[in-house]
Amino acid sequence: MSKSTQSDKGDKLWAIMAVVSGLGAAKVTNKLLSTGWKASTGRKPPANPADPDVSIGEAVAWSIATGALVALARMFVQRRAADYFVKSVGRLPKQLEKDA
């Protein structure tokens, strides 16, 4: 197998790792946030913050919390996955190589 074919397979593996780890992090974080929201407010979090029946304050608070914390969780998990990828393959995936 040529080096470029191995490189392509590695980058495809990274794409799968990035998607799976990102989705997993988002799901776990959302579950934790929902549990915390219910514990602190006594209500379920808004299913759709854009719904006019949801107060603007609640919609903004939920959107900020989920947006920021899910993005952070995905970033941390994907960094760990990148470390694992480097240890396994010996290089960063093309998608994470430093900009010129």
Identity of residue 54 = V
The gap from C-alpha 23 to its chain's centroid, in whole angstroms, comes to: 6
**Domain range list for the chain:** 59-91
What pTM was estimated for this model as a whole? 0.77
Q: Which sign does the torsion angle of CA 63, 66, 67, 69 carry? A: positive
Closest by Cα among 74, 97, 98, 94 to 13: 94
User: What mean pLDDT, rounded, does the chain reach?
Assistant: 88
Give the model's pLDDT for residue 7.
Answer: 67
What is the token pair recorded at 15?
């794409």
* Section 73-83 average pLDDT: 92
pLDDT digits (tens, 9 = 90+) for 8-45: 777 888 889 889 999 999 999 999 999 999 999 999 99
* pLDDT surpassing 90 at residue 5: no
